Amino acid sequence: MSFCFRRLLPVIALIFLGSCSAYEFPDPTPEDYAVHGIDISRWQGDIDWNAVRKDGISFAWIKATEGGDHSDPRFLDNWYGAKAAGLPRGAYHFYYFCRPVEEQIAWVQETVPVDPTALPLVLDMEWNAHSKTCRERPEREKILRDMNAFLDAMENHYGKRPVIYSSVDFHRDRLVDALHEEQFWLRSVAAHPNRVYTKREDWYFWQYTAEGKVDGIQGEVDRNVFFGAKSQFRDWLNGKLKR
């Protein structure tokens, strides 16, 4: 190697590094993630859970309850059907802002069976602009207080800390820079969650479409991904994942 070429190497390296820093790498797409799942409710109708599992689905969250007195009429069928197919599944509760948190806690515990093999319960926090019975939008302080009460009660009852589901507008209005010790599942159908959520890069699950297709389900279904590798998902299932 000539002396002149050796002197040029640092310059070439600097040019290369400069070009890399100027290049903006594209966001990961859902296809880039290894672990895929769904969330469902009565509106998916009869589900062939064996076909769902064979189509590469690794987890499912099933609507169980809403408010303090409503339960999904297909919850138990789906709850036991998914388990029989060997698919990891959990329940989710849709929060209702016109019902005391204590009543919602009691209703979930009455409706959702205790099953140590289940995924953590999900607390679904989003504004419901279509509700005909509740237009309340409590302030951030009350929401955070009630959320913590719900999370603590569910962890005590079921043995696992719940996951928090949120939509873009609800998170923007009430949850920015809050609850960083919790596990979040974020809805973001227009872009990668890191593009649209503020101070929430530590999310665990991403709901990327409501128009997914999965074998065993007629029509459309919500599709989701887990943030990490399959080995990390196994650790998460066993309560051993450290982020």
Catalytic residues: 126
Q: Which candidate, 237, 175, 173, places its Cα nearest to that of 205?
A: 237
Query: Biggest alpha carbon distance in the chain?
Result: 81
Strands 57-66 and 70-71, by their bridges, are: antiparallel
Question: How many residues comprise the chain?
Answer: 243
User: What beta strand segments (E) does 88-204 contain?
Assistant: 89-94, 122-125, 163-166, 183-187
Task: Give per-residue burial for 7-28: e unless 16+ CB within 10 Å, then b.
Answer: eeeeeeeeeeeeeeeeeeeeee
User: Which residue type does 204 have?
Assistant: Y
Residue whose pair of structure tokens reads 């019902």 in the numeric block: 99
Residue whose pair of structure tokens reads 């009455």 in the numeric block: 110
**Dihedral of CA 114/184/41/151: which sign?**
positive
Compute, in degrees rounded to 10, the torsion defined by CA atoms 84, 89, 94, 95.
Answer: 130
Helix or strand (DSSP H, E) at 236: helix 230-237
How many CA atoms are closer than 13 Å to the CA of 150, on its beta-carbon side? 31
